[in-house]
Amino acid sequence: MTPSGARRTIRRMTEVAGVVGESPTFRSVCREIARLANRAPEGHRMPPVLIQGETGTGKGLFARAMHQAGPRRGGPFVDVNCAAIPETLLESEMFGFERGTFTDARQAKPGLFETAHGGTLFLDELGYLPLPLQTKLLKVIEERSVRRLGSTRNIAVDVSIVSATAEDLQTLVRAGRFRPELYHRVAVFTLRLPPLRERGGDVLLLAEHFLAATCADYRLGQKRFADDARRALTAYSWPGNVRELGNVVERAALLSDVPLISAPDLDLPALMSAGGGTAADTRARWPARGARGNWLESLAGRRATSHPAQHLALSDGAPRPSRTPAVAASPRHPGA
């Protein structure tokens, strides 16, 4: 792969899939994806890829970026959260079923493998896949065909498999919770995403990205971070990674009555000040905000104008809304 080809692929990932970052660790991951995506001929499937990383690092977004940068970007991208679908339904969702297979099966239904034919199937939280289904998944991957429930014939499927997990699959293999032969099939290529605390200046870069997106979405007008807020953002360890950063910035933008967002607006739960001290000490130096007046009423009016079908109910005692989906990543909340 030529350097120009790698740059084109990385640019496509940034522009189409919405990944954001400039740190060396981020660029290293992008180069790995670019090298892999450019190995396969146009239209050909990529080898199975396993994406590992802590919760909130953007594994789903990187999976989509890999699809958009790869040789099958014109095909479907189908994602399934193995932890979110009940075990009793997971097999029929993945492999499909024929009419009359069970009660209420009034017509045949293709599974996710068939739906992803010619594209990419993203298996998120693969470590939660039950052992019996692991055996069936291995058979489908090896034979490149799927048999619907209640059927006697196999249907050829040609999909690129991308899996993701926040757990160490090798540890699960040693514990007998994950089949070693399946691990070796899905981890032909392993991509490890760095946590946000290891990405240096990407924290501020992502925070600015989230702030601009939130202000545009809620019609808040232009806002920016004060110097103390920027220091707070870089000092915090971000255990929830990029997902947590996106939620913190969105909440701060919504609750700030002025264009300049300060450190108290971020309301970080365990921030250590630059000079040391506990979180309580830090909050003491940054006094709590006073009454917000008619802020909620005005925000509800703006939001109703922007999205008439939705409403926003916020109170100081209620959880703030999260606009970052648990599985399906979005360009507004890039995972990298």
CATH of the domain at 227: 1.10.8.60
- Contact call for residues 131 and 179 (beta carbons, < 8 A): yes
pTM of the model: 0.76
Q: Which two tokens stand for residue 1?
A: 């792969």
Please indicate, yes or no, if residue 143 is contained in any of the structural domains: yes
Q: Point out the domain boundary residue: 160, 194, 228.
A: 194
Alpha-helical runs (H) found in 150-198: 169-174, 180-186
85 pLDDT tier (thresholds 50, 70, 90): very high
Which residue would you say has higher pLDDT here, 5 or 51?
Answer: 51
Taking 70 as the threshold, does the pLDDT of residue 307 lie above it? Answer: no
Do residue 78 and residue 217 come from a single domain? Answer: no
Whether residues 21 and 121 share a domain: the answer is yes
Residue 106: pLDDT over 90: no
Domain housing 215:
199-306
Q: Beta 189-192 vs 49-52: how paired, if at all?
A: parallel
* First and final C-alpha spacing in the chain: 23
Give residue 62's region: left, alpha or beta (phi > 0; psi -120 to 50): alpha
Quick one: 46 exposed, middle or buried, by C-beta within 10 A (0-12, 13-18, 19+)? buried
Percent share of the chain, pLDDT over 70: 75
Give the mean pLDDT of the chain.
Answer: 81
Tell me whether residue 26 is exposed, middle or buried, using C-beta atoms within 10 angstroms of its C-beta: 0 to 12, 13 to 18, 19 or more: buried
Q: Which helix (H) or strand (E) holds 300?
A: helix 295-306
Q: Decide if 1 contacts 38 (C-beta within 8 A).
A: yes
235 and 271 inside one domain = yes
Nearest Cα to 240, choosing from 272, 217, 268, 263? 268
Q: Do 11 and 110 belong to one domain? A: yes
Return the bridge partners of 161, or none.
Answer: 121
